[in-house]
Chain A
Amino acid sequence: MSDEPVIRFDDVSKVYSLPGGDVVALDHVTLTVEPGEFVAVMGPSGSGKSTLLNLMGCLDVPTSGRIFINGEEISRMSDDVLTRLRRNHIGFIFQQFNLIPLLSALENVEFPVVLTERRGESRERAIRVLRSMDLEEELFSHKPSELSGGQQQRVAIARALVNEPELLLCDEPTGNLDTKTGTAIMDLLRLENGEGKTIVMVTHDPKVAEYAHRHIRIVDGRLV
């Protein structure tokens, strides 16, 4: 597994069929992401960045071409297998934080562990990971609606990390945050990358993109 790229796209296209005609969101994309890389994906709005990230995250399968995650082709996998892959190997961080409103901060972090077979230790792990996000302990029991954007994003990062995935996928993680909070969040991500996690991050912000080692530009679904 070590010499395999974490992600390999082989001539991948994604076409959305809409009543008004087909939308080509990704157009014959070929790329690899190696273990430990920190990649920033940039490009204008509607160019296919989120589509690219969703395919990397096994949330969807390509219209054509092949995608390998840790050397395994995902287009032939069943939904349950893809779901397990996401749960164990991939962490998602979204622009809108996307915490589960019914759960407290701590429960949100605990949730991915509860989905695995390691339920017993879920509470301790959640506390440990959430502490490392510099979140005040008294906020642990708060519902997402009672947290600020920065606090929510810390919880979301903790949730993405709690199952110790090899790959972190971030879709504009600082897009809804002010510069100072955004910087703090990016420092956390850099720390994780320093500990060996592979990170692919979509961003509009050149400052944020500076945290990455490699930049991918995408225009109209094509890499440039």
Chain B
Amino acid sequence: MIFFDFARRNIRLHWFRSVLAVIGIVIGVIAIASLGILGNSLVLSITETISDVGDTVIVTPHTGAAAAGNGPGPPGGGAVTSNTISERQVGQIERAVGPNTVIPLAQGGDAIAVGSETGAAVIYAMPVEEMPALLDLADGIYPRSTGGALAGSALAAEFGMQPGTRVQVGSNASNTLRVVGVIEERGVGFDINPDFALIVPHAWYSDVYDEEEYDQVIVKVRDVGDIDVVKAAIEETLNRRETVVDVLDTRMILESLFQVFEQITVFTLAIGSISLVVAGVSILNVMMMSVSERTREIGVMRSIGTRQQDVLRMFLYEALILGLIGSIIGGVMSIGTGYLVNAVVLQRPEFLFVPSSLVYILYGMGFGVATSIASGIYPAWKASRLNPIQALRFE
């Protein structure tokens, strides 16, 4: 351990420049850890609002711009056939997917009125018997007849709806529904976003809006492993001659979304790494100074029997110590800065305390130590390769 001791003493002797080098590492570690934590917290706060699991296949008309949008807007009376999915096509899908649940739905939006309060809501229409498969209730029951409807949690809160509340849909006062249940808050989904919506029976909807066809078909796949088979079956049935429908699954959408998140995280980490590279250069600089100042000393050590590898180790220890000190300080400080950036940027400081965030502190520290050692390799190698005589003559 004498060579570790040498390294320690040399750092102490040149404490000022060692402190500067350590500060570089500290900043680098903090940058990596904080940016990593921020990126991860961002992903967490977004995924928190996404309810989907990867078990849903969504079928939309190929040219169907209307089906893709969720925004409110009065559904057209005479819809273009190519923008919708017909009853016959739903039947084909049902046969193609076998035992998996098929939920055809239409969507639109209209003015609504609850008592004297008026406003607008997104409207999803689906067969009443399929509602339990797609929606969970917070209160009340599922509709059994065409006169019942479900209210999304946010909509119910806004209009003070409860099971039993009457809702007028559209401007015609005779078109009323009774809310029989309130849906549990569901967050943002790739299939439907019911929180601000009214879910109505499809029979009622087609009656009122004279719209027989569907905008979207949702297939709940029982076994996630079957998703590809189900998708292939639907494509095979409907898209044989020309592409009639687009078939997406939420797993795929989630995957591409998480891929984007990953890229964001990598990007932020790359920015953080730049500061570590700078820190690495400063360590390299400190070490090169150390080597050239101690050239004569290295010559003496070599002449009295110190091996090349010992000299190498001595300088690597020096880099390691600087890196360790910097990383530990940086790691501790990242807890504070991670908390701070989460609090300031996301107003959600608690996202720091999940393992997937905290691990970035370890990453930062690991990178800090690794950068230091990497920066020490060249100076250490150079020191160990000094010709003893040349080194002894050095003044």
Which residues of A pack against B, CB within 8 Å? 54, 57, 59-60, 79-80, 83-84, 86-88, 91-92, 94, 98-102, 111-112, 114-116, 159-160, 163
Say whether, besides A60-B387, A111-B2, A114-B2, A98 and B392 are in contact (CB < 8 Å).
Answer: yes
In the bound assembly, the distance between CA atoms of A17 and B6 in angstroms comes to: 35
B303 / chain A contacts, CB cutoff of 8 Å: 57, 59, 86, 92, 98
In the bound assembly, the distance between CA atoms of A114 and B310 in angstroms comes to: 12
Q: Quick one: which of A84, A102, A160, A163 contacts B9, CB cutoff 8 A?
A: A102
In the bound assembly, the distance between CA atoms of A218 and B338 in angstroms comes to: 72
Say whether, besides A60-B389, A111-B2, A83 and B306 are in contact (CB < 8 Å).
Answer: yes
Which residues of B pack against A, CB within 8 Å? 2, 6, 9-10, 13, 296-297, 299-310, 387-389, 392
A160 / chain B contacts, CB cutoff of 8 Å: 304
Q: Is the interface of B mostly helix, strand, loop or mixed?
A: helix
In the bound assembly, the distance between CA atoms of A85 and B303 in angstroms comes to: 10
Say whether, besides A60-B389, A114-B2, A102 and B306 are in contact (CB < 8 Å).
Answer: no
Q: Quick one: which of A83, A114, A159 contacts B302, CB cutoff 8 A?
A: A83
B296 / chain A contacts, CB cutoff of 8 Å: 98
Q: Is B2 in contact with A59, judged by CB distance below 8 angstroms? A: no
The smallest C-beta distance from A79 to any residue of chain B, in angstroms, reads 6
Q: Is B6 in contact with A102, judged by CB distance below 8 angstroms? A: yes
B301 / chain A contacts, CB cutoff of 8 Å: 100, 111
Q: Quick one: which of A59, A80, A111, A114 contacts B388, CB cutoff 8 A?
A: A59
In the bound assembly, the distance between CA atoms of A100 and B301 in angstroms comes to: 8
The smallest C-beta distance from A189 to any residue of chain B, in angstroms, reads 17
- Identity of the chain B residue whose Cβ is nearest the Cβ of A89 in the assembled complex: B305
Q: Is A115 in contact with B310, judged by CB distance below 8 angstroms? A: yes
Q: Is A115 in contact with B388, judged by CB distance below 8 angstroms? A: no
> Which of B296, B303, B308, B309 has the most A CB atoms < 10 Å from its CB?
B303
Q: Is A101 in contact with B297, judged by CB distance below 8 angstroms? A: yes
In the bound assembly, the distance between CA atoms of A54 and B388 in angstroms comes to: 9
A59 / chain B contacts, CB cutoff of 8 Å: 302-303, 388-389, 392
A91 / chain B contacts, CB cutoff of 8 Å: 304
B305 / chain A contacts, CB cutoff of 8 Å: 83-84, 86-88, 112, 115-116, 163
A88 / chain B contacts, CB cutoff of 8 Å: 305
Q: Is A54 in contact with B389, judged by CB distance below 8 angstroms? A: yes
> Which of A86, A91, A159 has the most B CB atoms < 10 Å from its CB?
A86
Q: What are the 7 tightest A-B residue pairs by CB atom distance, in nearest-first order?
A: A87-B305, A98-B300, A102-B9, A59-B388, A114-B2, A86-B305, A83-B307
A102 / chain B contacts, CB cutoff of 8 Å: 6, 9-10, 13, 297
B307 / chain A contacts, CB cutoff of 8 Å: 79-80, 83-84, 115
> Which of B2, B297, B305 has the most A CB atoms < 10 Å from its CB?
B305
The 17 sampled A-B contact pairs (Cβ below 8 Å) are A59-B389, A59-B392, A60-B387, A60-B388, A80-B308, A83-B305, A83-B307, A84-B307, A86-B305, A87-B304, A87-B305, A98-B303, A101-B297, A111-B2, A115-B306, A115-B307, A116-B305
A84 / chain B contacts, CB cutoff of 8 Å: 305, 307
The smallest C-beta distance from B10 to any residue of chain A, in angstroms, reads 6
Q: Quick one: which of A60, A79, A101, A112 contacts B304, CB cutoff 8 A?
A: A112
The smallest C-beta distance from B6 to any residue of chain A, in angstroms, reads 6
In the bound assembly, the distance between CA atoms of A130 and B19 in angstroms comes to: 36
In the bound assembly, the distance between CA atoms of A79 and B10 in angstroms comes to: 26
A99 / chain B contacts, CB cutoff of 8 Å: 300
Say whether, besides A80-B307, A115-B310, A100 and B297 are in contact (CB < 8 Å).
Answer: yes
> Which of B13, B299, B392 has the most A CB atoms < 10 Å from its CB?
B392
> Which of A54, A160, A163 has the most B CB atoms < 10 Å from its CB?
A54
Q: Is B10 in contact with A86, judged by CB distance below 8 angstroms? A: no
- Identity of the chain A residue whose Cβ is nearest the Cβ of B13 in the assembled complex: A102
Q: Is A159 in contact with B308, judged by CB distance below 8 angstroms? A: no
- Identity of the chain A residue whose Cβ is nearest the Cβ of B395 in the assembled complex: A96
The smallest C-beta distance from A19 to any residue of chain B, in angstroms, reads 15
